[in-house]
Structure 1
Amino acid sequence: MTQITNRIDHVAWMCRPENHDAYVEKLSKIYDVSFEADDGGPDYGLRLTWWSAGLEVLSPAGDPDLPLAKMCWDYLGKRGEGLFAVVMGVDDVGKSIEHAREQGFTPSPLFSLPETDKPWLRRVQECTESVLDVFLDQNLAVGRIITDGDGPSLAEQRAGIAAG
């Protein structure tokens, strides 16, 4: 298993849906990488495209009243496109949330990956995140993101099925 802790796990940019593909293409060209995942969607309220080296592009999707779509549109309306969050890897998101509350902050609810059968999910054993606060007009988040290509996928874990 691979997990990044006590350092930056990834950065996420928020953009308008019509710009999503162009921004992914630009990051791919600049860093000479291919993004591994493109998931979420209209039923989830959020499209997310990510690459394991710590780059992520987000945009609202589907019904604007879905909680994640609303969060995206609210963010875009207030701040516009740009850096959405810097995510610090932690061992325990719940403990980080409690620590933030003890310090007087109001963390967001836990965010987890959508249900999916996409092949990239085989690598993801766990992915939970929470925005702890805003710093210099950007979200500071924590995440427990564990990857392992040999173990059961997150989808298999959710279904209670061991990988063969």
Structure 2
Amino acid sequence: MKKFVNHVDHVVYLSRWETVDANIASLEAVTGARLERCERRDMGALICVDWSAGLEVVAPLPERTAANGALCDRLDSHGEGLLAVVYGVADLEAEAARLEAAGFAVGPPMASDPIEPWYDRLVLRERFAPSVMGSWMVFSQIDYADDVVRFVDVREAAPAA
């Protein structure tokens, strides 16, 4: 398995429920990505991800709950758009301890759930870190199966001169 370390893993966009289909269609048309969908009722959100493209769209489900309240509040205060940068680290708990020692609040550990369609292709561990420049920051330790993120060796992919 591979993971991003000291590197952006992916970005997360926030969408309203009413516009999530159009927003995903637009993102897919512009990037060529294909986002997989997973409705997480326990989180009160629809999560749509293309792991290889590094793109995620999150939309709170129509009913406001304790679980999706922060997403609803963010939509009310900032509207749709960039929500978070997910930043890969080598050791999630060591980074959390470093931030806490420096006086920053860090969120509780989050992990994949077997209901997610990508569950067997990666091991996801994340924690909310302090916000940066108005965007949420999430530290991650996501271990990807070898065929999930596409890397191309440019020396091999370049046409012969």
Q: Which of the five TM-score ranges fits, normalised by the shorter chain?
A: 0.7 to 0.9
User: Which residue identity lines up with residue 140 of structure 1 in the other structure?
Assistant: M
Seq. identity, %:
26
The separation in 2 between residues aligned to 1:64 and 1:24, in whole angstroms, is: 21
The separation in 1 between residues aligned to 2:57 and 2:27, in whole angstroms, is: 9
Shift of 1:117: 6.0
1:102 equivalent in structure 2: 101
Instruction: Supply the RMSD in Å over aligned alpha carbons.
Output: 1.9
Distance of aligned partners of 1:114 and 1:121 in 2 relative to their CA distance in 1, 3 Å threshold? closer
The separation in 1 between residues aligned to 2:23 and 2:8, in whole angstroms, is: 21
Shift of 1:104: 1.5
Following TM superposition, the consecutive aligned residue runs of length 4 or more in structure 1 with deviations greater than 6 angstroms are: none
What residue ranges of structure 2 are gaps of 5+ in the alignment? 148-161
What residue ranges of structure 1 are gaps of 5+ in the alignment? 151-164
User: Which of these two proteins has the greater Rg computed from alpha carbons?
Assistant: 2
2:29 equivalent in structure 1: 29
**8 Å Cα contact 2:86/2:140 also seen in 1:** yes
1:123 equivalent in structure 2: 121
**8 Å Cα contact 1:92/1:144 also seen in 2:** yes
**Number of matched pairs:** 146
SS of the residue aligned with 1:114?
coil
Shift of 1:108: 1.7
SS of the residue aligned with 2:6?
coil
Q: TM-score normalised to the size of structure 1?
A: 0.80
The separation in 2 between residues aligned to 1:17 and 1:113, in whole angstroms, is: 22
Q: TM-score normalised to the size of structure 2?
A: 0.82
